[in-house]
Homo-oligomer: A and B are copies of this chain.
Amino acid sequence: MSRNRVTIHDVAAKAGVAISSVSRVLSGHLDVSEKMRARVEAAVAELGYEPDHLAQSLRKGATNTIGFMIRDITNPLFSIVAQSAEHELRKAGYSTILINSHGELEAETENFSLFKRRRIDGVIASLVSEEAPYVRKTIRDLGAPVVLLDREVIGLDASAVICDHQSGVRDATADLIKNGFKKIAFLSGRKDVYITRNRIKGYEEALANAKIKIDDDFIRLGKFGEVFAYEETLKLFSRKKQPNALIAGGIGAAGGALKALRELGIRPGKEIGFVAVDEWPMFDVLTSDLSSVYRDPEEMGRASARLMLDLIAGHAPSQELVPTHYRPRASSKLS
């Protein structure tokens, strides 16, 4: 089965030349005669030789492989980011190893160690924790370029793709206020990460602009994912002090919130105002006119790939900012 592997030795033997000459021809080196090139290429063609990537990597010290680690591949936004990054990296000759961290710190650590053992050329990651010493140590130990998704990288030796959630959420909040909502609840994931902090900034900015007092009871932070949002939404709407609008930060959160609302018989755009932060595939088809804060996941993927290739080329770490756009639809006002 794999016995039919043809190596550079076979090519050299067939062409009657040294293996170093075969290598030189294949790497497009200058100092080879026309005759040599022709003979070698004939032998290569005849034997169907393909260089062994493994041996090349070992010798060259580069694997042409990038690790891509995210919390959850099945999150449609992330899967688009991953696909787009993979596409872009492949054009530059890199393969991508995709790994889930399931949002767990230990899985993440194990993944980094795996990447290191595999001599990955770089890692694009959406980290679980943003705690600076941990991140710094992780990056140092890896010994390869790192691009972080949606994380601040101040004082870190890494590049980052960061999204301007703030302005999107600010505009969304302002629109809700404009439409008469004053008791706006805000739902998002872990509070110690950039994405959450940045969204809250936008939320608070809009409230401040409208001179509405911030009510901490309406800000529900905890975990990313459907379950947390579902439970928190149930709580929010089963107390005395109820909000009359809801901003759900993230795809999971929006799903969980919508599920809870459905069970409660509360309809977005009818009984409350509602904005989803992030969209999912067929957003316009599957949902009934939800207002949203949009960001382009393909651009995020491309940006992360660009940053990675820059780092590999030896450039200094840098950042790319991806904008967000508030898209008002039916759910952000009552009808």
Contacts and interface: CB of A to CB of B under 8 A. Distances in A.
Interface residues of A, number: 52
B50 A117 contact: yes
Nearest to A68: B98
Interface string A57-83: 110010100000000111010011011
Contacts of A286: 255, 258, 280, 286-287
A159 interface: no
Interface in A259-302: 259, 262, 280-282, 284-288
B117 A53 contact: yes
A55 interface: yes
Contacts of A30: none
A55 B52 contact: no
Contacts of A255: 281-282, 285-286
A118 B259 contact: no
Contacts of A118: 53-54, 95
A98 B100 contact: no
Contacts of A96: 97-99
Interface in A229-263: 255, 258-259, 262
Interface in A105-138: 113-114, 116-119
A74 B80 contact: yes
A143 B2 contact: yes
A154 interface: no
A182 interface: no
Contact of A259 (B51, B98, B285): B285
B58 A83 contact: no
Given A258-B286, A285-B262, A286-B286, A100 B86 contact: yes
B53 A119 contact: yes
Given A53-B117, A54-B54, 7 more contacts: A52-B119, A73-B79, A76-B281, A83-B100, A90-B99, A96-B98, A98-B98
25 contacts: A1-B143, A1-B144, A2-B61, A4-B143, A50-B117, A54-B58, A54-B63, A55-B58, A73-B73, A73-B79, A73-B82, A73-B83, A73-B86, A74-B83, A74-B281, A76-B76, A76-B281, A87-B100, A95-B99, A258-B285, A258-B286, A259-B282, A259-B284, A280-B286, A288-B288
